[in-house]
Structure 1
């Protein structure tokens, strides 16, 4: 079975994506940043070595977003991150999921995650805020693995890692959820040039 990368994405609808960032910079600028981050991620992670699938919300946006044309799309189930991850990891084979908050991710990160799954059960890409920008496993995983996780907190990664035995860890990236994270990303991006 071919390795598969799922990208969890919200449609770039004014006021619906990057709501915490929008509280700091306004909905128009937040939407512009979100579209830019999404385009960067799509450009940098698609690779013929794996399938790339967008898991999108809301379901009505399937096939409706011009920026996503030509990429396979599936709807996300409703609810918290728990059922949405359970849906993705119900499939067999090497599976990765990323979001759209870390535009620093590159195809080499995705390749490293699939490589890690040859030797371990689960792989995570930690985020600097205590969450994660990537999770990978050789599925299927039980939906119970996603219960009891304090999502969107500094405890998220620790909570979910506690559900597994051997885990591999990739490099730490910044999730751009608010103005402080956006500024930190810009500083590091500028310094790396």
Structure 2
């Protein structure tokens, strides 16, 4: 089965995700707040990303990290194309998704993960506007990574980038520029990996009215109270 061709004037939003499970993902967080609490937060973080996927004005894709989770992912986002990731490191998997979707006519792609709940509609709007002029648009993460990466052009080779390090954001921007892309940086946000990120999220989400964010906020407040 091949992806359907995109005929929307809007970029395609791609959610790259894992199925939350105890012992799989968010291990730095689990070491501080416990496995079950970390799992609950991972599930609610994914709900926030799904909320963004559901609100997106163009085509959407959900890309679980394993083929065996295709049915799970399809049920979470029935409006989205489900395209499981291939094998390899994160860069290799993103390159493979990118090639497959562009071959199907998705020429402008916006990639997000499932752990940046502070992304707001205005972030996405700024990215869509910036993509009218720039080849590639990035939203930086405060830890040196990125929380969103979007491009009108195929990504360069991402396989050797320093994923999950503080050098990623600069390395990604440099790789794109070396490939001839014009690059626009479109603000900064953060993702949730450490216990300290939970405190920051409490402040960032305090006035966010979106339902999934309200549920996450309540859970974060409860978790902080348990581990104060």
- Fold shared by both chains (TM-score > 0.5): yes
Structure ranking higher in helix proportion = 2
Superposed displacement of residue 114, structure 1: 2.3
2: distance between equivalents of 1:108 and 1:192? 12
Structure 1: gaps spanning 5 or more residues? none
Superposed displacement of residue 52, structure 1: 1.5
Give the TM-score taking structure 1 as reference length.
0.89
Asked whether the equivalents of residues 39 and 67 of structure 1 are also in contact (C-alpha less than 8 Å), the reply is no
1: distance between equivalents of 2:202 and 2:195? 10
Q: Answer yes or no: is 1:153 the counterpart of 2:161.
A: no
**What is the count of residue pairs matched by the alignment?**
191
Mapping for residues 3-152 of structure 1, pairs under 5 Å: 3-47=11-55, 49-64=57-72, 68-70=76-78, 71-90=80-99, 91=102, 92-142=106-156, 144=157, 146-152=158-164
Asked whether the equivalents of residues 18 and 177 of structure 1 are also in contact (C-alpha less than 8 Å), the reply is yes
Structure ranking higher in strand proportion = 1
Kindly tell me: are residues 10 and 89 of structure 1, through their superposed partners in 2, closer, same or farther at Cα, counting changes over 3 Å? same
Describe the SS at the equivalent of 1:43.
Answer: helix
Task: Tell me which stretches of 4 or more aligned residues in structure 1 moved more than 4 Å.
Answer: none
Give the TM-score taking structure 2 as reference length.
0.76
Structure 2: gaps spanning 5 or more residues? 1-6, 210-228
Superposed displacement of residue 83, structure 1: 0.7
2: distance between equivalents of 1:19 and 1:67? 26
Superposed displacement of residue 121, structure 1: 1.1
- C-alpha RMSD of matched pairs (Å): 2.1
Larger Rg: 2
Superposed displacement of residue 180, structure 1: 1.3
